[in-house]
């Protein structure tokens, strides 16, 4: 599936289909990292079963725009999940990531947060998003960053600054090129997913 979405000749329909499949798998894996508590339920046969249930509630937070492509995958796995949004763009004067917009569930500080963004390149946007979540009272250890593709530079930048963060990804690529694109990469995920242009490949 990763080969299909990386292929520059893959059309948008197939790109979206296989990206969605990968996203759902990633969300499932992310949920495996959440704490559970033991619980006893009664089966239709009248017997007890020792199971587990999630300890606490979750929410998704997508980094606009590409991160929004991952929201449906989260909803497919977690019914009625709350979704927050955050918009971060690079300030043209300082070249640093700047927060432009955020909207979160009012009780986000009590939830486990799945931060959604398809790519982790330099880590600038991710670190800014994590800072904003922490400023809203979310403990660092309750944030899981879920992405499809990343590189060692981004992982190092994020985990050096936020060592309690967990990163769940499909693949780790070789690194960044001179334009700070992940290589071999898959191009501009948002552009390919939404069909706005061909993106860089």
Question: What pTM value is reported for the model?
Answer: 0.91
- Note the pLDDT of residue 199: 45
Angle at 29 between CA 24 and CA 30, to 5 degrees: 95
CB 193 within 8 A of CB 148: no
Instruction: For residue 197, give both structure tokens.
Output: 């242009």
Spatial neighbors of 90 by CB under 8 A, at least 6 apart, are 96, 97, 98, 124
CB 134 within 8 A of CB 155: no
Spatial neighbors of 79 by CB under 8 A, at least 6 apart, are none
**What digits encode the pLDDT tens for the residues 115-159?**
999 999 999 999 999 999 999 999 999 999 999 999 999 999 999
Q: Which of 177, 187, 133 is nearest to 151 (CA)?
A: 177
- Note the pLDDT of residue 80: 86
CATH code of domain 2-194: 3.40.50.2020
- Note the pLDDT of residue 109: 96
Helix pair angle (152-161, 124-135), 10° resolution = 20
Spatial neighbors of 142 by CB under 8 A, at least 6 apart, are 111, 112, 113
String of DSSP letters for 20-67: HHHHHHHHHHHHTTS-EEEEEEE-TTS-EEEEEEESSEEEEEEEETGG
Spatial neighbors of 54 by CB under 8 A, at least 6 apart, are 31, 34, 35, 36
- Note the pLDDT of residue 198: 54
CA dist., res. 38 & res. 140, Å (int): 25
Q: Which residues of the chain have pLDDT under 70?
A: 95, 197-201
């Amino acid at each position: 599936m990763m080969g299909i979405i990386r292929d520059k000749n893959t059309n948008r329909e197939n790109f979206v289909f296989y990206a969605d499949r990968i996203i759902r798998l990633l969300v499932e894996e992310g949920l495996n990292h959440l704490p559970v508590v033991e619980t006893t339920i009664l089966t239709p046969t009248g017997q007890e079963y020792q199971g587990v249930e999630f300890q606490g509630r979750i929410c998704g937070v997508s980094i606009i725009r590409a991160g929004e492509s991952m929201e449906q995958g989260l909803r497919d796995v977690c019914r009625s999940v709350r979704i927050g949004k955050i918009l971060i763009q690079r300030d043209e004067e300082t070249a640093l990531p700047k927060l432009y917009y955020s909207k979160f569930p009012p009780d986000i500080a009590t939830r486990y947060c799945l931060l959604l963004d398809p790519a982790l390149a330099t880590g600038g946007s991710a670190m800014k998003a994590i800072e904003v979540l922490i400023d809203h009272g979310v403990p660092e250890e309750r944030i899981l960053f879920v992405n499809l593709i990343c590189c060692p530079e981004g992982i190092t930048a994020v985990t050096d600054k936020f060592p309690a963060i967990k990163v769940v990804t499909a693949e780790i690529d070789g690194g960044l090129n001179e334009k700070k694109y992940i290589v071999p990469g898959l191009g501009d995920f948002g552009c390919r997913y939404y069909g706005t242009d061909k993106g860089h490949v």
